[in-house]
Amino acid sequence: MFGSVLVANRGEIARRVIRSARRMGIRAIAVYSEADAGLPYVAEADEAVPIGPAPAARSYLDVRAVLGAARTTGAAAIHPGYGFLAENAGFAAEVIGAGLTWVGPPPAAIEQMGDKINARNLMERAGVPVAAGSREPVADVAAALAEAERIGYPVMIKAAAGGGGIGMSAAGSEAELTAGFATARTRAERFFGSSDILLERYIERARHVEVQILGLNDGRVLALGERDCSVQRRHQKVAEETPSPGITPQLRARMLAAASRAGEAVAYRGAGTVECLVDTQAQDFVFLEMNTRLQVEHPITEMVTGLDLVEQQLLIADGGDVSFAPDSVRAAGHAVELRVYAEDPRRFLPSPGVITEWSEPSGPGVRVDAGYTVGNEVTPYYDPLLAKLCVHGDDRDQVLRRARAAVADFHIRGPKTNLAFHTELLDSDEFASGRYDTSVVARLRP
């Protein structure tokens, strides 16, 4: 096993990776920007290196700075977390080229899945269902209108190189498409450095359900169950649960099999996620995209399977076997993750600031993955995720009861947080019934 790993990330996910690495006896090295020097992950690492000023482009996204830190600390491996450089195939190739171990899938798999148009075409060929949509980039508004005519309205406008819900919008008419196309192009260029746009048939009243996969070194791709991520605001996830209350065992079996095929089609290694949209009426699904890295909401899969997914990533990256018998994974009980964001609970607008009180809940089945603690400043430079409140139990009812108590017992002062929204969500008839879809937040906030 390699002796050290540099975590090229910040906040809760850096802390999460450092925890598993240290437990396995691997020296954990953190990197941090000027804005993050006081965060818990920096203190918990065996060694921590400053890599630049607050803006991500000059620190966490600076390939030279990250590789320089790896060189000076003698790191043997790099774990990218999620976001930042995690799905940058060029960075992965440079890590490998520098003689280090890359804790992630082969660069070719990242590249194939990174372009959403290419990924759709690849999945279609592998027998994974995709929604009606673009097979090549849509060049201009005229081409978009023609393409939408073929696909049928409403359509979703997406950045081919995109992710995280940024720049996505739905269009129900030619006028909306004309307006939305220009905005999407500008945002795609700004956030992802490529203005390639694709259109996809927009499925209304759908659920967003994803499958956790794990590619082993013998070529097998395991499907470790699904996560329902339908609770979203601005196309970004707010709460997730497993198992999904909206799919039948038959549909689950088909989705898991398709997710394995998707991974095999790109010779996947390590942890990844196949995102799908589910039409609950028809009990059918289509491929959405594949995230070639550890997912934010991975803890709920860990809670029901009993596996440490970061440990498996490190073992696979080292070329070895995973810690469990691949045919023996069984999910037990139910789990929910609530994302605690620094934002007001009404309009979900960002709320940076200094944390003056921080008190986490605890108890049976409760796990908190936090990036901050009292005294830290939440700055405007990065995403608003403060912590992930994860709750496990025997069944959904018990989990929702435990989650309500845990939310009430989580005390944060300083920045505004969305904890009050989580209380509302857990108490809503729609969420409690399990019969919700991706519009549930919009219905709670008309």
* Binding positions for another protein, rule: CB under 8 A: 164, 166, 234, 342-343, 349-353, 379-384
Tokens in use for 32?
Answer: 């941090």
Angle CA 234–351–347, to nearest 5? 40
Q: What's the min distance (Å) between Cβ of 406 and another protein?
A: 24
**Coil, strand, or helix at residue 28?**
strand
**421 vs 436, which CB is nearer to another protein?**
421
DSSP per-residue string spanning 222-234: EEEEEEEEEEEET
Active site residues: 293
Residue bearing tokens 């690849």: 122
Q: How far is the CB of 82 from another protein (least distance, A)?
A: 13
Beta bridge partners of 267: none
Shortest Å, Cβ 164 to another protein: 8
Half-sphere exposure of 79 (CA within 13 A, CB side): 34
Query: Could you tell me the smallest distance in angstroms from the CB atom of residue 349 to another protein?
Result: 7
Identity of the residue, 382 or 436, whose beta carbon is nearer to another protein in the bound complex: 382
| C-alpha closest to that of 5 among 41, 29, 40, 32 | 29
Question: Hey, what are 68's tokens?
Answer: 């320089």
Can you list the positions of beta strands (E) in 77-205?
A: 77-79, 101-102, 155-159, 169-171, 197-201
Torsion from C-alpha of 159, 165, 167, 168, nearest 10 degrees: 80
Nearer to another protein, 68 or 353 (CB): 353
Least distance in Å: CB of 425 to another protein?
20
Nearer to another protein, 285 or 341 (CB): 341
Distance of alpha carbon 242 from alpha carbon 246, whole angstroms? 10
Residue 407 Cβ, how far from another protein at the closest point, in Å? 21
Contact in structure between 22 and 28 (CB atoms under 8 Å): yes
Cβ 289 vs Cβ 113: under 8 Å = yes
H or E stretch covering 442 = helix 440-444
DSSP calls for 237-252: EEEEEES-TTS-HHHH
Cβ atoms of 410 and 110 within 8 Å: the answer is no
**Minimum CB–partner distance for residue 373 and another protein (Å):** 19
The rounded distance, in Å, linking the Cα atoms of 225 and 78 is: 27
**Under a CB-based contact definition with an 8 Å cutoff, are residues 24 and 314 in contact?**
yes
Between 74 and 380, whose beta carbon lies closer to another protein? 380
Which residue, 40 or 353, is less far from another protein as judged by CB?
353
Q: Looking at the DSSP assignment, which residues form a beta bridge with residue 359?
A: 411
CB closer to another protein, 391 vs 412: 412
Q: Please name the residue that has the structure tokens 């818990």.
A: 40
Report the distance separating Cα 105 and Cα 185, nearest Å.
Answer: 29
Overall residue count recorded for the chain in this entry: 446
Nearer to another protein, 343 or 369 (CB): 343
Residue 350: CB minimum distance to another protein, A:
4
CB of 380 to another protein, least distance (A): 4
Whose Cβ is closer to another protein: residue 50's or residue 164's?
A: 164
State CA 47 to chain mean position distance. 27
* Strand pairing class (27-33; 47-52): parallel
